[in-house]
Structure 1
Amino acid sequence: MQVDINGNRLEVELTGPEGAPLLIVHHGAPGLGSMAEPRASFGPLADTYRVLVFDARGSGRSEGNEPFTHEQWVADVDALREWAGAERFVIAGGSYGGFIAMEYAVRHPDRLLAMVLRDTSPDSSNEELARANALSSARVDLDLAKFERIMDGAVRDDEDLRDCWAEILPLYDHVYDPEAVARKVEQTPYRYRTHNWAFTENMPRYDVTGRLGSVTCPTLVLVGRDDWITPVACSERIADLVPDARLVVFEESGHSPQVEEADKFRSIVRSFLQDALGHPAPA
């Protein structure tokens, strides 16, 4: 459904039993991501929780009214919480969605029941590590011009974003499957203006390391061992900075353990939420 949130129409899906704890999941890759991934990863938890997934402002099927700042995306999450009728909720985010989850947590710590972070980073230092990992990979002979354009937020249009995305996608998984990469290229919604804003305006200033100590909710940090773009060291820093955070490394995953080790991923998330929220009864 389309919901007007802060003057911008967002594509939103809300499933699960009325009265259950609310779980809002933020997708990654602004301008490339959509609710499709969190729907697949967290949708099965709708037997116990109210699961809200959405296309963020400027991504997927949502309207694209600027600005595409972290502050605006955080405000949109809080407005979705209010729209769903929850005073407090669980936030989850993977990759860039983890940036927004952490930004929300340091701005609204009293609103959160728990937080789940997947393959993300507390600042932009992951970019230097990602570049080194990409250039040393034997999996793909990178077109450096395309690599630099997508990493720097300098893609020319939606078609160029598609070409650059196809260039780096082979780096993401633990096991490289060219057919799976080709399917993902076809299925991705391309919004180049959003992507460029995120990587030219937001990333150079992104840093929540000095504020993560203020997070008060139970926090689960998940990461794939072979994650090239937000390596394990980034998740280790988050777990060190957030009080009493729990870190889990998936040994047979790249950037997407929610896909590559899906059953284990959901089992760990479900167990964590049961502990954090006091074992809510399944519907």
Structure 2
Amino acid sequence: MFVEINGNQLSVEVLGREGAPVLIAHHGAPGLGSRSEPRASFGRLADTHRVVVFDARGSGESGGAGPFTHEQWAADVDGLREWIGVEQIVMAGGSYGGFISLEYATRYPGRVRALVLRDTAADHAHEELSRVNALASRRIQVDVEKLDRINAGLIRDDEDLRDCWREILPLYDFNYDPANVEAKVAATPYRFATHNFAFAHNIPNYDIKDKLRNITCPTLITVGRTDWITPVSCSETIHSLIPGSELVIFEESGHSPQVEQAKEWTATVRDFLSRVERPAAVPLGR
């Protein structure tokens, strides 16, 4: 369905029963990502939660009215929360969706009952780390010009974005499968203008480490051991700064433990949510 949020049409799907706790999941890779990934991963929780997945402003099938800023994307999440009709949500997101999840938790702290992060970062230091990892890869020899242009937001058009995306996709998974790479290339919706704005304007200024100590909701941080683009050290930084947060590293995963170790990852998220959402015990005599 299409829902107008803050003057822009968003393509939205709602999974699970009415009345269940609401979880809003944000996809990664603006201009490349879509609701298909969070639908596949967080959709597994639709037996216990009302799961809202959507194409963010400027991505997938959603409208492309700007701006494509973190502030606007976080405001769109809150618009969806208001549209679904609840006071608080579980906020979830991986990769760039984790950036927006952290932005939402710091900008709208009273609206978040729990936070679930996957393979993400709290600043732009991962840019240099990922470039080093890409150039050191024994899996492929990366075209440095394409790597640098996609990271700098200097993509010429949607076909160029497809070409640069194909170049770096072999780096993402724990086990490299060329056929899987081509399937991902074919399935990706390309919106180069959104990608360019995010990488040329948002990421160079992204650093919310000083705000993370103000996140008081229960927080789960998950990451794949061989994640090349937001390495384990990025999740360890988040873990060190959010009081009481939990960090789980998946040893046989790259950037997508929700896919590569789906059973273990899903069980980890379920266990976390069952513990933090369990009603507090009422003392005897009350």
TM tier relative to shorter chain = over 0.9
Q: Distance in 2 between matches of 1:201 and 1:143?
A: 23
Q: Distance in 2 between matches of 1:212 and 1:44?
A: 28
The letter of the residue matching 1:100 is I
Give the match for residue 34 of structure 1: 34
RMSD: 0.9
Q: Distance in 2 between matches of 1:142 and 1:47?
A: 42
Q: Distance in 1 between matches of 2:51 and 2:201?
A: 30
1:109 Cα deviation after fit:
1.0
Output the TM-score relative to the length of structure 2: 0.97
Matched, 1:105 2:97: no
Matched, 1:119 2:115: no
1:249 Cα deviation after fit:
0.2
Give the match for residue 46 of structure 1: 46
Matches within 5 A, 1:256-271: 256-271=256-271
Consecutive aligned runs of 4 or more in structure 1 exceeding 6 Å deviation: none
Give the match for residue 88 of structure 1: 88
Give the match for residue 195 of structure 2: 195
Output the TM-score relative to the length of structure 1: 0.98
Give the match for residue 204 of structure 1: 204
Give the match for residue 227 of structure 1: 227
Q: Distance in 1 between matches of 2:20 and 2:67?
A: 33
Give the match for residue 251 of structure 2: 251
Q: Distance in 2 between matches of 1:102 and 1:44?
A: 22
The letter of the residue matching 2:6 is N
1:30 Cα deviation after fit:
0.2
Structure 1: 5+ residue runs without aligned partners?
A: none
1:228-248 Cα shifts (integer Å, max 9, x gaps): 000000000000000100000
Q: Distance in 2 between matches of 1:141 and 1:205?
A: 29
Q: Secondary structure at the match of 1:47?
A: coil
Q: Distance in 1 between matches of 2:187 and 2:241?
A: 36
Give the aligned length: 280
1:138 Cα deviation after fit:
1.1
The letter of the residue matching 1:275 is R
1:167 Cα deviation after fit:
0.1
Q: Secondary structure at the match of 1:211?
A: helix
Matches within 5 A, 1:67-216: 67-216=67-216
Structure 2: 5+ residue runs without aligned partners?
A: 280-286
1:106 Cα deviation after fit:
0.7
